[in-house]
């Protein structure tokens, strides 16, 4: 396993980890979140007002993949720490504010963080404003990683699937069918059996605005079609449902 040597490789691994957490199988998600739970040194990367955490021992190897990382016997956090030190030009340090953000991040992932890092060592952090790095690259809209990361994590980590299921059942009880609360699109009417009970749930409160103790409520979920969901996330801050309705009208 070769160590990363530049910031582009570092960010590529961060996006790989985000992909797994948002779109991987249940076993892959568990393995990825376990890495976050067990880690000691993390890159704390900021997108808008959210701070997320990627463990050094995973993101420190070029084009790292979950399966190869899990079975590797040569992975060494001391080596990846050194590589990241050289790239970011600073050593990680313990930070009380970031420690609280890390705990909140773990809660959002549905895991209970350990009291300390591996071997009882205090967790340490580097800080990276990932948005600024993307802006430097002048990528096209289609290939803009920041937007993709935000949408993936919103769809996976920000919401509880149990709450969305409850929101669907409540909506069905009241309306008799599932349709987009913005444009009225009904997947079952259009796709028949294939579209039965299908609709996306949008959380109206961003993770960055939620307190550690705050839990997702059914009332916080609106049901939308895939197109309207993407349009809601097209702008920053995200559009409200009423604002998107005005645009449609």
Q: Which of 139, 166, 193 is the last residue of a domain?
A: 139
Same domain, 209 and 239: yes
Same domain, 134 and 162: no
What's the rounded Cα separation, in Å, for the pair 219 and 181?
Answer: 13
**What is the edge-to-edge ordering of all strands in the sheet holding 50-55?**
50-55, 41-47, 124-129
Mean pLDDT along residues 75-80: 93
Same domain, 164 and 210: yes
153 domain residue, yes or no: no
State the chain's mean pLDDT as an integer.
Answer: 83
Same domain, 13 and 134: yes
Same domain, 178 and 213: yes
Same domain, 118 and 232: no
pLDDT value of position 131: 60
Same domain, 130 and 165: no
pLDDT value of position 207: 52
Q: By C-alpha distance, which of 152, 126, 123, 155 is closest to 40?
A: 123
> In which region does residue 160 sit, left (phi positive, over 0), alpha (psi from -120 to 50) or beta (all else)?
beta
Same domain, 115 and 16: yes
What's the rounded Cα separation, in Å, for the pair 134 and 193?
Answer: 42
Which of 184-203 are b and which e, b meaning 16 or more Cβ less than 10 Å from the residue's Cβ? ebebbeeeeeeeeeebbbbb
151 domain residue, yes or no: no
Q: Which domain holds residue 196?
A: 158-248
Is the pLDDT reported for residue 176 higher than 80? yes
In terms of Cβ atoms closer than 10 Å to its own Cβ (0-12, 13-18, 19+), residue 67 is exposed
150 domain residue, yes or no: no
Is the pLDDT reported for residue 210 higher than 80? no
**Least confident range of 92-106, 139-153, 217-231, 232-246:** 139-153
Q: Which of 78, 111, 139 is the last residue of a domain?
A: 139
Same domain, 117 and 166: no
Q: Which of 110, 139, 168 is the last residue of a domain?
A: 139
Helix (H), strand (E) at residue 78: helix 77-88
pLDDT value of position 196: 93
Is the pLDDT reported for residue 47 higher than 50? yes
pLDDT value of position 19: 78
pLDDT value of position 25: 72
* Total tally of structural domains belonging to the chain: 2
Phi, psi at residue 41, to the nearest 5°?
-115, 135
115 domain residue, yes or no: yes
146 domain residue, yes or no: no
């Amino acid at each position: 396993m070769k160590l990363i040597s530049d910031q582009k490789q570092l960010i590529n691994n961060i996006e790989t980890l985000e992909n797994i957490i948002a779109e991987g199988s249940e076993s892959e998600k568990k393995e990825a979140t376990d890495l976050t739970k067990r880690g000691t040194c993390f890159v704390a990367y900021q997108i808008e007002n959210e701070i997320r955490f990627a463990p050094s021992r995973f993101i420190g190897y070029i084009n790292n993949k979950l399966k190869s990382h899990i079975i590797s016997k040569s992975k060494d956090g001391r080596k990846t720490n050194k590589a990241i030190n050289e790239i970011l030009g600073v050593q990680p340090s313990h930070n009380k504010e970031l420690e609280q953000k890390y705990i909140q991040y773990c809660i959002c992932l549905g895991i209970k963080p350990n009291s300390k890092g591996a071997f009882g060592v205090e967790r340490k952090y580097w800080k990276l404003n990932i948005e600024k790095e993307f802006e430097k690259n002048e990528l096209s809209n289609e290939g803009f990683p920041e937007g993709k990361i935000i949408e993936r994590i919103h769809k996976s980590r920000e919401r509880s699937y149990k709450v969305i299921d409850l929101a669907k059942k409540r909506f069905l009880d009241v309306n008799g069918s599932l349709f987009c609360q913005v444009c009225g699109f009904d997947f079952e009417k259009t796709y028949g059996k294939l579209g039965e009970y299908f609709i996306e749930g949008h959380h109206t409160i961003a993770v960055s605005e939620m307190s550690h103790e705050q839990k997702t409520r059914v009332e916080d979920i609106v049901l939308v079609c895939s197109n309207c969901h993407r349009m809601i996330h097209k702008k920053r801050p995200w559009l409200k449902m009423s604002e998107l309705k005005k645009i449609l009208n």
